[in-house]
Amino acid sequence: MTRRSPPAPTLPARVRAWLGLTQAQLSLYLGVSQTLLQAIEAGQRRLSPNVSVALLPLLLQLPPPATPADPGP
């Protein structure tokens, strides 16, 4: 039986972790219910276009993703 790796954090979860926000704070900022934000972070719902637009200014504050080192020849 193979083990699955845990799912990667969603964009809202990464934003919350980086900025130190609670789900209640981020859901208020995004204009959605905390229940909807929980479902998005759990992978049960997708980001709507409106939520994506609202999230964009916060996403721009995240550091760039780490890139794997070039192993060379």
Give the pTM: 0.78
Domain 11-59 classification at class level: mainly alpha
* Mean pLDDT (the chain, rounded): 89
Q: For the chain, what are the domain ranges?
A: 11-59
Q: Where are the alpha helices (DSSP H) in the chain?
A: 11-19, 23-30, 34-41, 49-59
Residue recorded with tokens 């083990």: 3
How do residues 13-47 score in pLDDT, each as one tens digit? Answer: 999 999 999 999 999 999 999 999 999 999 999 99
**Rounded to whole angstroms, how far apart are CA atoms 26 and 21?**
6
